[in-house]
Homo-oligomer: A and B are copies of this chain.
């Protein structure tokens, strides 16, 4: 039991109390739920593949090495660089973007030269080979995200491709009265 709690503790956003509740929940479910859950966990892992095109983790029953976005003929022209899988999925959900992606795997830390295992070399190679019309840097609007943007721009600049960044400004619902100074400055700069 304690071991299972330990394992649940590694789930994203789960603290000791909830990990415990999960373990009790498992213990109290009927046999079939628990069996199916264990099988699904193994299956999802077995079928999960990292796309060789964009490093997105995708669910593939067959043996394709490219995810559905990378292998779609109707997507393309631009490559959007995102930090992680869930960012990509959230952008897909918005329906606002019809190009391709590249999953960086993280952001640059603010100090030191440790690249945190992020796929800078792979990004460089992909851009060099594919020469997309536009690269859209879609990191989060945090200090680490901005830092990562600058770093990528420096690396990709020699390749001579067009690099853009997501607009900064007022997010939907934001009120001027409560906006911080940097958001106001960004919104003013990005006026159109």
Contact = CB atoms under 8 A, between A and B. Distances in A.
Interface of A: 1, 3-4, 7, 10-13, 18, 20-29, 31, 33-45, 47-48, 57, 59, 82-87, 89-91, 93-97, 136, 138-142, 164-192
Contact of A172 (B4, B34, B44, B183): B183
A188 B166 contact: yes
Contact of A13 (B18, B28, B176): B18
A7 B36 contact: yes
Q: How many protomers of this protein does the assembly include?
A: 4
A28 B170 CA distance: 27
B12 A25 contact: yes
Nearest to A175: B140
A165 to B, nearest CB: 6
Contacts of A136: 188, 191
Contacts of A1: 44, 47, 59
A21 to B, nearest CB: 5
A13 B20 CA distance: 12
A186 B167 CA distance: 7
